[in-house]
Structure 1
Amino acid sequence: MNKQQLAAKIWASANQMRSKIEANEYKDYILGFIFYKYLSDKLERFAVSQDFSKEDIQGLSEDDEEIVNFFKSNLGYFISYPNLFSTWLALGGDFEVANVRVALSAFSRLIHPNHKRLFDGIFKTLETGLSKLGESAASQTKAISALLQLIKDIPMDGRQGYDVLGFIYEYLISMFAANAGKKAGEFYTPHEVSVLMSEIIAHHLKDRKTIQIYDSTSGSGSLLLNIGQAIAKHMVDKDNIKYFAQELKENTYNLTRMNLVMRGILPSNIVTRNADTLEDDWPYFDDQDPVNSYNPLYLDAVVSNPPYSQKWDPEHKEADPRYARFGLAPKSKADYAFLLHDLYHLKPDGIMAIVLPHGVLFRGGEEGAIRKTLIENNHLETIIGLPSNIFFGTGIPTIILVLRQKRESSDVLIVDASKGFAKEGKNNKLRACDIKKIADVVTGRLNVPGYSRLVPKAELQAKDYNLNIPRYVDSSEPAQSWDLYASMFGGIPQSELDALADFWTAFPALRTALFIDNGTPYVAPRVEALAKAIREHADVIRYGGAFNTAFADFTPWLRGALLEKMLALQIPQQEALISEEIFARLTPLPLIDKYQAYQILDDHWQPIAVDLEIIQTEGFAATRVVDPHYVIKKKDGKEVEVQEGWRGRIMPFELVQMIHHKRELDALREKENRLSEITASLEETLESFSEEDKANDTVNDAGDKFVPAAVAKEAKLLLAEVKKSGDVEPESYEAKIIQVAEWFAEEKNLKAAIKKEAEALHLKTKKTIEGLTDAQVHILLERKWITPFIDELHGLPDQQIDTLVRKLEVLVEKYRITYADNAHEIQQVETTLAGMIEQLDGSEFDLKGLAELKTLLAGN
């Protein structure tokens, strides 16, 4: 299975296994064991690379000092054979929780002095929490054994780079965060926000040969890693990136270290601290050699997502160089304390991005004074307003602030990106198109009406340094208005048609073709079938033709970019190259939002990228591999994994059947369609039965289903009677039961045939995939990767036309019925009702009431 499938499987099982343990705690156990497996597997791979035989590995013991030192010098740690993850698995039923306790204790003893800061105490959270996995040693052993089996299939050997391991680790962290409530914010920045910050940071640093990056509240380390990965795309050697991380909570700090180590980063490029960022600032130094190891820590990039509006202690910090120039944040809210800490550690040409609550933009007092100084000294470069409810554990709207130590301009780019998101469960989520648009606007420092604006410092000063986003960027939808004249007399206001100016520019002759202009501020519809007239207009037809022309050779271009280079192309860069090609083709075309096209690309790119990873790692032959398909089924009250057929590692069975076995597939579908028709006919027939008919044995007690055995028995008797007496009334109960019996017989035969043919087609497809030629693989990959993407892309012009049709139909309907029409219709109804009152009779008081109602209806 690919990395998404494996990650989802592990999460589903882990979430079920954790029982009553909080998600925030359980993550430490499963992630800790994944890390131990990583270190264990890495040691075994290193031993093999050094020509250690299987017997040599089985003899690894901490009693052999020379061997221990050899591994410690090369890896920074040593694990003896009895403590290897693979040995635990091999023990089977003899494994027990004591094996883990012994191994983790030994690991702490066998760390190389040079790697002490990186590895020391890294398993403390796991070691001290084992008792929470069960009330007894036996129950703990059972829980741990299940965990080991769960993660044993995660590849740690770089078969698909570190991406599989890294993807699964990130996936699990995000899923635990989604289930951890308010505690999620302690360790996780949503992936999409990390990616956005990464793109902005990477653009600024893309031409540098060596880079140092720092997260002052590192959490799980995912934000820091995303920054590093984005920067690495622009660098020749990713080993020229050095990572600095600081985290207050010990268990979260351990996550940071594990995450960094498992991503293949050189140990010398990882510098971490478990300390209070605000109370215990760098300079960083080794206690053993404070002079020579002193590092004041000025970096190329600083990122952070600190706890929002946390209390802190500003006492005696006036002279702290981080705050001396700006002042101290109030003790009730440490937001600006974190910001100033990050800014202090920037190099003059560095860049920082920090996530904070909206309040930092407009709160007064000490915060207002700090904000003023930041603006006056030109440190503040960009404000990005994010959607609300985008972070786990809090629904408050947040912002990203981008700051610099030195910059030439004094304006501030303000971006209101709060409206761009997709709803996903309880949270909002930035889509790929939202991230791309924000990053393009920020890196290009673009003015986009209703979205972003470069605000000069003078305007910020005039507004007393209040940075509340709506003061500068109005992203609100205009309120719906009603034209008084048109509401009274009819007609469509020219001013409301003018609001569709982009469409009239794109289709110059369309407005005149649709509406009659009599020289007044109002027009009348010229055509009744508005949608038909729009779609058949020459301007609209030419528009579709222009799109087709722009993308006429795009399919061949994609073949060259993807199919012909699949073994060598750079996967992380390829999506950007394709998007640039799409944007270039869309540039001369009006109306179409290029970011909508980008979202289509990204939706299709994700599965393509997974396929490319597999092909590049395992070779082109992976396209012909068929794997067992496992499903979870209940057996003897327990859930067990059993094989149910096969699945292509790359090639979907249905796609192969559509191209190579269409005749068999069509025949199978025809039978399946006939089966659906029979089901519908049975339901329709049962609905036609009277209550008396349903009282017969042929229908169940609930009256909602036929009883097949009883139907067959009664139909047999009825047919015998028909042979004796002749024809039966077509709509009679008897005729219907005979027909139902025939349908049940046909249904039974169909189900047997479908099962037999489906199994035969399944096995035939397996054989076909395994025997595909290279040319056939290329055709199938084009149908899987390129064809659906192109089809969806070519739907963009029609979407614009549909939007215009919808807007104009609403506008025409809005003023079709005037106030006078409504008033006249109401008057007619009232007159009719008043006349009907004359025919009513009742008591003395009833008649008085009716008389008063008649008077009111008459308008007196």
Structure 2
Amino acid sequence: MNKQQLASKIWESANRMRSKIEANEYKDYILGFIFYKFLSDEEIGVLRKDGWTDEDLKKLVESDDESVGYCQSRLGYFISYENLFTTWLKKGKDFSVANVRDALSAFSRLISDSHKKVFNKIFDTLQTGLSKLGDSAGSQTKAISDLLQLIKDIPMDGKQDYDVLGFIYEYLISNFAANAGKKAGEFYTPHEVSLLMSEIVANHLKGREKIEIYDPTSGSGSLLITIGKSVAKYIENKKNIKYYAQEWKENTYNLTRMNLVMRGIIPDNIVVRCGDTLEDDWPLFDDADPARTYTPLYVDAVVSNPPYSQHWDPSNKDTDPRYKRYGMAPKSKADYAFLLHDLYHIKPDGIMTIVLPHGVLFRGSEEGKIRKNLIENNNIEAIIGLPANIFFGTGIPTIIMVLRQKRPDSDVLFIDASKGFIKAGKNNKLQASDIKKIVDTIEGKKTIDKYSRLVTKKTIRENDYNLNIPRYVDSSDVAESWDIYATMFGGIPNAEIELLKDYWTAFPQLRNVLFQNDGTPYSSLAVSDVKKAISDSSDVKDFIRTFETAFNDFDGYLDSELIEKMQELNITQEEAAISENIFGRIAAIPLIDKYKAYQLLDDEWSKISTDLEIIQTEGFASTKQVDPNMVIKKKDGKDEEVQDGWIGHVIPFELVQTTLLKEQSAEVKAKEKRLEDITAEYTEIIESFSEEEKVGDFLNDDNDAFVPAEVRKKLKEIYEDADSPELSGLYGYLSLIDKKENKSAKLQYIAEHTEVDWSAIEGSGVYAKGKVTARIKALQEGYTFPEDSFEAKLVQAVSLMDEEKDLKKEAKELAAALHLLTKKTIENLSDEQALELLWLKWISPLSASLHAMPVSIINDLVHSIQALVEKYAVTGLDLETQIKESEASLSAMIDDLQGSEYDRKGLSEFQSLLKGE
């Protein structure tokens, strides 16, 4: 399975296994064991590369100083063979929680001096919390064993860009945060927000050979790592990125260290501290030698998502260099204390991004003074208003502020990005296109109507340093207005037609085709079919032709980029390269939104990049591989993982079936389609019943489905009541049998009753009771009831049930055969077939979605014109005429009514009201 499937499987299983343990606590256990597995596998991998055999590994013992020293020099730690993760698995039933306690204790003892700051006490949270996994050693052992089995399949090699471990780790952290409630969710910054901050920073730091980045409220370390990944796109050597982090909660401080180590960052580039950022600034010296190690920390970029409006102690900090230039944040809200801390630690040419609550933009008193100083010192570069409900555990509005120590200008860019999101469960989520638009707007310092504005310092001063975004950017939707004249007399206001000016600029002849103006401020529709008129317009045809020409060779470009270079292309950079190519093609084409095009690319890129990672890691043969499809099913009241068929490792079964196995697939789909039709026919029959006919047990309680057994029972009763001359004759013959009449009497009866087709009964002479009964049943079932009668409908229902039963069996057998044939087909694909299927999976959907953009734009225009025409189609005068006609019609009907003297007086008065008298 790919990394997404594996991560999802682990999360689902872990969430079930945690039982009554809080999500925020359970994360410490599963993430801690994943980290231990990583270190264990890392040691085995390094030693095997150095020539160690399996037998050599078994000699890894703590008493062997040479082996301990060797591992410490290569890794910074030592794990004995007895304590390796793989050894735990081999122990089977002999494994116990004591093995874990011993291993974690030994790990702490055997960290090399050079790596103490990276690894020291890193398993403390896990070690002290083991007792919460059960009430006894046995229950703890069971819980841990289940965890080990859950994570044992996570690959730890991290080859090329196939960062499965990092992806799963991040996936689990985000899911635990989403399920952990307000307080527990504070330690995690949603990936999309991290990505936005990282892209802003990375753009600023382009071209630098060495980069230092710092997160003073690091939490899980995810924000810091995302920044590092974005920066790494623009730097030749990833080892030239140094990571500083500080976190005051010990368990999340440990998460930071684990996360950084597992991303393959060398220990020398990891400097992490557990401490209170506001109380104790970054230590400027090594505790062991303060005098000679005094070094202020100034970095290229600081990023942070501090706790919002936290209480702090500002006393005795007047001389603190972090705050003395700008002012002291109030003790009830430390937001600006965190901001000034971050600002203090960036270099003159550095940059910082910080997430803060919206209130920091306009709250007064001490915060107002700090805000003024920041503006007067030209520190604030941009303010980005984020969508509400974007962070786990809080729905308050938040912003990202971008600041620098020294800037060549004093203008501040305000961006209202609060409406750029999609719903994702309970939260809102930034899309890739939203992030791209924000980053581009900052880079170009763009003023965009209803979205962003570059504001001068003078204007901000005039607003008393209030930075509330709505003061500078009005992103509110334009309220719909109604033209009074057009409402009463008709016509389409030219002013409202002009609101579609972007279309008229792109299609200069189209407005005159669609509308006729009589010299007044109003126009009338000049065509009978708006859609046809627009589609037939030469302007529109030229627009579509221009787009098609621009993308004429796009499929070939993608083929050369993705298919031909799949083994060696840089996955992290490829999406950006393709997006630039798309932007270049649409740059001169009006109406095409490049950010919508970018989103179309990103929507497809998730599956393309996953496939590329697999192919680059496992080879092209992975395209011809199938995996067991493992699902969770209930068995004896417990969840159990079982195999349910197969799934393509890279190539989806459905794609193979719709291309290489069309006939077999069509046969299955035809059966499935007929089953759907039968369900619809059931509904039609039921809806045709009268309320009286629905009485009985043959329908369920909701009267929307048949109860098969009861339907058959009801029909049997109906058949027994059926009558015909032949049936009457057969019933008479049965009475002779019941009376035990002799043979001659029976023969005489047969001769006299010619209404019976005696030849249709098996046998000759006289007939046995069973044979006669069978004939009666055949006649009953062949009985023709009047069309649309209740009885005829039940006959139809039973016929459908018989057909459905046979169809289900046939469809199941055909689907199973097709499934196995698909598996065999994938495993025996030729290279050419595999490449063709990759083309259909990667290139065809993206190309189709892009080519649909002009059509979507034209449809939007058609909808807008039709809505505008319909808005004023019925005038006030039309309504008045209709009302008067209705009143007159009602008055005339009253004249025909009969009643008492008093009824007539009442009706007469009502008529007077209708006539307005």
TM over 0.5: yes
Instruction: Tell me the alpha carbon deviations over residues 123-160 of structure 1, each in whole angstroms, 9 at most, x when there is no partner.
Output: 11111111222222222222111111111111112246
Distance 1:363 1:698, change over 3 A: closer
Q: Which residue of 1 aligns with 2:313?
A: 313
Letter in structure 2 aligned against 1:658: T
1:174 alignment partner in structure 2: 174
Distance 1:791 1:511 in 2: 29
- TM-score, L = length of structure 1: 0.96
Verify: 1:780 aligned to 2:837, yes or no. yes
Q: Which amino acid aligns with 2:599?
A: Q
Give 2:870's aligned amino acid. E
Measured after TM superposition, the shift of residue 399 of structure 1 is 0.9
Distance in 1 between the 2:411 and 2:596 partners? Answer: 30
Matches within 5 A, 1:677-826: 677-689=677-689, 704-707=705-708, 711=712, 714=716, 720-721=775-776, 728-729=784-785, 731=787, 732=789, 735-826=792-883
Q: How far did residue 822 of structure 1 move?
A: 2.2
- 8 Å contact kept, 2:213–2:301: yes
- The 8 Å contact of residues 708 and 801 in structure 2, kept in 1 or not, is answered as no
- CA–CA distance in structure 2, aligned partners of residues 701 and 342 of structure 1: 66
Q: Which residue of 2 aligns with 1:44?
A: 44
CA displacement 1:654-687 (0-9 Å, x = unmatched): 1112221111111221222222223333443344
Contact 1:216 1:277 in 2 (8 A): yes
Asked if residue 355 in structure 1 is aligned to residue 412 in structure 2, the reply is no
Specify the SS of the correspondent of 2:820: helix
Structure-2 change in CA distance of 1:320 and 1:226 (3 Å): same
- Per the alignment, residue 613 of structure 1 pairs with 613
- Give the whole-Å Cα distance in 2 for the aligned partners of 1:548 and 1:431: 27
Q: How far did residue 77 of structure 1 move?
A: 1.1
Deviations 1:816-843 (A, max 9, x none): 1222222333344345555666777899
The CA distance in 1 between the partners of 2:603 and 2:377, in whole Å, is 42
Contact 2:534 2:540 in 1 (8 A): yes
Quote the offset at 1:637 in angstroms. Answer: 2.3
In structure 2, do the counterparts of structure 1 residues 273 and 852 end up closer, same or farther at CA, with 3 Å as the change threshold?
Answer: farther
The residue number in structure 2 matching 1:59 is 59
Native 8 Å contact 1:162 1:263 kept in 2: no
Contact 1:160 1:614 in 2 (8 A): no
The alpha-carbon distance between structure 1 residues 270 and 806, as it changes in their structure 2 partners (threshold 3 A), is same
Distance 1:358 1:688, change over 3 A: closer
Q: Take 2:146 and 2:874, find their aligned partners in 1: how far apart are those partners? A: 69
> Is this contact kept in 2: 1:711–1:740, CA < 8 A?
no
Alignment of 1:281 with 2:278, yes or no, is no
Shift of 1:559: 0.4
User: Structure 1's 709 and 396: CA in aligned 2 closer, same or farther, altered over 3 A?
Assistant: closer
In 2 relative to 1, CA 119–26 (structure 1 residues): closer, same or farther, beyond 3 Å? Answer: same
TM-score, scaled relative to structure 2: 0.90
Sort the Cα spacing of 1:716 and 1:822 in 2 relative to 1 into closer, same or farther, 3 A. closer
Distance apart, 1:453 and its partner CA: 1.5
> How many Å separate the matches in 2 of 1:52 and 1:546?
63
Deviations 1:730-758 (A, max 9, x none): 52455545544443333333222222222
Residues 1:380 and 2:380 aligned together: yes
Indicate the larger mover: 441-450 or 260-269: 441-450
Instruction: Give the equivalent residue in structure 2 for 1:655.
Output: 655
Distance in 2, matches of 1:848 and 1:411, equals 79
1:126 corresponds in structure 2 to 126
Mapping 1:133-152, distance limit 5 Å:
133-152=133-152
Unaligned runs of 5+ in 2: 723-773
Q: Give the distance between the partners of 1:460 and 1:846, measured in 2 at CA.
A: 75
The whole-number CA distance in structure 1 between the counterparts of 2:785 and 2:843 is: 58
Q: Give the superposition deviation at 1:690.
A: 5.7
- Partners of 1:720 and 1:677 in 2: how far apart? 33
1:3 equivalent in structure 2: 3
Specify every segment of 5 or more residues in structure 1 that has no aligned partner in the other structure, as ranges. none
Q: How many residues were matched structurally? A: 860
> What CA distance in whole angstroms lies between the structure 2 residues aligned with 1:152 and 1:206?
39
Give the whole-Å Cα distance in 2 for the aligned partners of 1:807 and 1:818.
19
- Quick one: distance in 2 between partners of 1:570 and 1:28? 34
Identity %: 63
After superposition, the Cα gap between the structure-2 partners of 1:701 and 1:235, relative to the gap in structure 1 and judged at 3 Å, is closer
Return 724-733 or 663-672, whichever deviates more: 724-733
Distance 2:414 2:222 in 1: 26
- How much does 1:376 deviate? 1.1
Q: Secondary structure at the match of 1:242?
A: strand
Tell me the amino acid that sits aligned with residue 154 of structure 1: I
RMSD over aligned Cα atoms: 2.4
Secondary structure in 1 aligned to 2:271? strand
Structure 1 residues 68, 716: closer, same or farther in 2, change over 3 A? farther
Work out whether residues 625 and 826 of structure 2, in 8 Å CA contact, stay in contact via their aligned partners in 1.
Answer: yes
**For the structure 1 residues 847 and 318, does the alpha-carbon distance in structure 2 shift closer, same or farther, using more than 3 Å as the test?**
farther
- Confirm or deny: 8 A CA contact 1:24 1:183 kept in the other structure: no
* 694 and 520 in structure 1: CA distance in 2 versus 1, 3 angstrom threshold: closer
Q: Measured at CA, do residues 588 and 607 of structure 1 come closer, stay the same or move farther in structure 2, by a change above 3 Å?
A: same
Deviations 1:742-798 (A, max 9, x none): 433333332222222222222222122112111111111111111111111111111
AA partner of residue 705 (structure 1): F
Distance in structure 1 (CA, Å) of the matches to 2:565 and 2:639: 43
* The 10-residue stretch of structure 1 (754-763 or 68-77) with the greater mean CA deviation from structure 2: 754-763
Alpha-carbon separation, structure 2, partners of 1:389 and 1:412: 25
Relative to structure 1, is the Cα distance of residues 843 and 239 closer, same or farther in structure 2, using a 3 angstrom cutoff? farther
- Cα distance in structure 2, aligned partners of 1:527 and 1:94: 85
| 1:402-444 C-alpha deviation (Å, 9 max, x unpaired) | 1111111111111111111111111111001100100111112
Query: Is the CA contact (8 Å cut-off) linking 2:161 and 2:571 kept in structure 1?
Result: no
| Residues 492, 208 of structure 1: alpha-carbon distance in 2 compared, 3 angstrom cutoff | same
Q: Which residue of 1 aligns with 2:560?
A: 560
Contact 2:711 2:798 in 1 (8 A): no
Q: Aligned pair in 2 of structure 1 residues 520, 837: CA closer, same or farther (>3 Å)?
A: same
Q: Tell me the secondary structure at the aligned position of residue 349 of structure 1.
A: strand
CA distance in 2 between counterparts of 1:423 and 1:115 reads 44
Distance (whole Å) between structure 2 residues aligned to residue 678 and residue 542 of structure 1: 48
Distance 1:694 1:517, change over 3 A: closer
* SS of structure 1 residue aligned to 2:399: strand
Mean Cα displacement is larger for which, 215-224 or 306-315? 306-315
C-alpha change, 1:99 and 1:845, in structure 2 (3 Å) is farther
CA distance in 2, matches of 1:783, 1:707: 45
Structure 1: which amino acid aligns with 2:882?
E
* 1:315 counterpart SS class: coil
> Cα offset for 1:359?
1.3
